[in-house]
């Protein structure tokens, strides 16, 4: 029986932006993509939702989790709450706490005040800053279409949750192997800085720098999470770890 891999989306909450990665991952895992509940009031609510989904797809078996950005925060929170259900974790462009609370406050209130239709224009204006440079216009356009199913309520809910999110002092309790992936051109989150912090606090963690990639790197043409995960597992079997750099 193949290992179960559960994909946990970023702050859009849709799970649809994993589309380029799923075919490669399905060659090695049984893959399930989650959607985050828009009206959740706390990280504990989302942890409970994720636990129900994991129980549904895997029974009482352990699973692997792959979380991107906000989804990485949920992934780590789940591993702390339910260590008995976690085989391994992959955390992409995420954080143990959201350091810029002023930026979060400003973004929250702008999102509340602006017409929701403006969100699509904002994504278009920020595309080159958010995406990896090698991602083509057609791919970016497709990602914007997929994200039309994201809701204002969902964004606001997750931004409120991040106000109180800080698990730095709980990372040492994570016993499962963790691979922290950090894009070196991430302008939304200080991913490399956060990954260094988290890998230092998490026993036996591995960190990998994704050179030449931005925050929204899931749809980049040269991003192959399946290959990265398989290489990590092979290195672990040889007793290797530490910090590595993914080639451009």
Name the residue range of residue 24's domain. Answer: 4-246
pLDDT tens digits along 19-50: 999 999 999 999 999 999 999 999 999 999 99
Q: Per residue in 201-238, pLDDT tens?
A: 999 899 999 999 999 999 999 999 999 999 999 998 88
Domains of the chain: total: 1
Instruction: Locate all alpha helices (DSSP H) within the chain, ordered by sequence.
Output: 22-26, 43-58, 70-81, 101-113, 118-125, 127-130, 137-146, 152-163, 191-201, 225-237
SS3 of 92, please? strand
Distance CA 232, CA 214 (A): 21
Per the rule left: phi > 0, alpha: psi between -120 and 50, beta: everything else, 39 is alpha
Return the DSSP state at 112: H
Looking at residue 56, which CATH number applies to its domain? Answer: 3.40.50.1820
pTM of the predicted model, to two decimals?
0.94
């Amino acid at each position: 029986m193949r290992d179960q891999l559960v994909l946990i989306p970023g702050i859009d909450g849709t799970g649809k932006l994993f589309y380029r990665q799923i075919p490669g991952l399905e060659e090695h895992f049984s893959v399930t993509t989650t959607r985050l509940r828009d009206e959740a009031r706390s990280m504990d609510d989302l942890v409970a939702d994720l636990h129900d989904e994991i129980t549904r797809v895997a029974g009482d078996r352990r699973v692997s989790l792959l979380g991107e950005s906000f989804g990485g925060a949920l992934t780590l929170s789940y591993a702390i709450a339910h260590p008995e259900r976690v085989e391994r974790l992959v955390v992409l462009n995420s954080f143990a706490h959201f350091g810029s609370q002023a930026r979060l406050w400003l973004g929250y209130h702008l999102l509340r005040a602006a017409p929701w239709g403006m969100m699509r224009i904002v994504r278009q204006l920020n595309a080159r800053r958010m995406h990896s440079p090698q991602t083509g216009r057609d791919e970016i356009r497709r990602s914007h279409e997929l994200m039309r199913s994201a809701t204002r309520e969902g964004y606001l809910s997750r931004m409120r949750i991040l106000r109180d999110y800080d698990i730095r002092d709980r990372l040492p309790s994570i016993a499962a192997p963790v691979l922290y992936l950090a894009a070196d051109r991430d302008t939304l989150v200080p991913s490399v800085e956060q990954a260094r912090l988290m890998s230092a606090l998490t026993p036996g963690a591995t960190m990998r720098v994704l050179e030449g990639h931005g925050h929204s790197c899931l749809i980049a043409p040269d991003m192959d999470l399946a290959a990265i995960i398989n290489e990590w597992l092979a290195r672990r079997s040889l007793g290797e770890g530490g910090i590595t750099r993914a080639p451009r």
